[in-house]
Amino acid sequence: MKDTATLTIRNVPLRIVRGLKSLAKRRGQSMEQEVRDLLEQHVAERSSVLRQIEASWDRQSRRPSAAEIDSWMLVGRE
């Protein structure tokens, strides 16, 4: 048996709930399963990106400073 936990999310906007229900219905599954699938996909994608970043940093002669990273993140947001 896999380790599992219960997650309660309050104050979800109605438009999000409706969207989740619609997605779940199209895929023939419950809204709970839709949310589990979305969370799992998101975490897997972030983990993959973080592994790619770490691998890239290993190939660099030096790691960027926190200030450099912050400035890169702001590009195009101002």
The tens digit of pLDDT for each residue in 38-76 reads 998 888 887 787 788 888 877 878 877 888 888 888 887
Q: Domain locations in the chain?
A: 14-57
Strands in the chain per DSSP E: none
Instruction: Confirm whether pTM is higher than 0.85.
Output: no
- Reported as a single tens digit per residue, the pLDDT across 9-41 is 999 999 999 999 999 999 999 999 999 999 988
Which residues are within 8 A (CB) of 27 and not within 5 positions of it... i.e. 6 or more apart?
34
Length of the chain: 78
